[in-house]
Amino acid sequence: MYAGTGDRDGNDSPGTGIYKSVDGGATWASASNGIYDNTMVGMMIMHPSNPGIILAATSTGIYKTQDGGSNWELTETNSIPFKDIKFKPGDPSIAYAVAGGKFYRSINTGDSWDTVHLLVSGTRAVIGVSPNQPNFVYVCQTEGIFKACSSRQTPESVSQFSQPIR
């Protein structure tokens, strides 16, 4: 079991990284080797078939571990905290993340990221994906909900988000 620390939405409480429990939460140990001090963790996702692979959207970037949290590598940075991260349903080699007015996509399980600018700027955004329609990704911001087609074969396909869906 993993827990990320810090206030993701208010950004008024610095985090102390990531903690891991191997006994159902009775005890916790730091699992933040390689993560900057005072890092707020917005969201973590675990690979559906390899629990050693975890991606973390944080205030200092996107981190990836391949050994269950023993060591983390920073794979993407941004001056605005990352708030959300999701795997594409049915294909965990594809991941999505948001930070401010930017949408990011990885096609190699978070090793590297392509940046796509959304139509509007903002600091809060969340991602929606569905197993029923895995080729679409939704990004909800204050200004509306945006929809894009997601295709592993054509990275450009996520570069054009629709006008807001109200």
DSSP assignment of 79-100, as one string? SS---EEEEETTEEEEEEEEET
Give residue-wise pLDDT tens across range 106-156.
Answer: 999 999 999 876 656 666 788 989 999 888 888 887 777 777 776 443 333
Backbone angles phi, psi at 70, to 5 degrees: -70, -40
pTM beyond cutoff 0.75: yes
Q: Report in angstroms the alpha-carbon separations of 22 from 3, 27, 31, 63.
A: 12, 8, 11, 21
To the nearest 5 percent, what fractions of the chain are helix, strand and coil? 0, 40, 55
Q: How many CA atoms lie within 13 A of 76 on its CB side?
A: 29
pLDDT band at 91 (very low <50, low <70, confident <90, very high): very high
Sheet of 2-4, strand order = 2-4, 18-20, 29-30
Give residue-wise pLDDT tens across range 70-87.
Answer: 999 999 998 888 889 999
Two tokens, residue 84: 């959300």
AA identity, residue 52: G
DSSP symbol at 102: E
Strands 136-141 and 125-128: antiparallel
Give residue-wise pLDDT tens across range 38-82.
Answer: 788 989 999 999 999 999 999 889 999 999 999 999 999 988 888
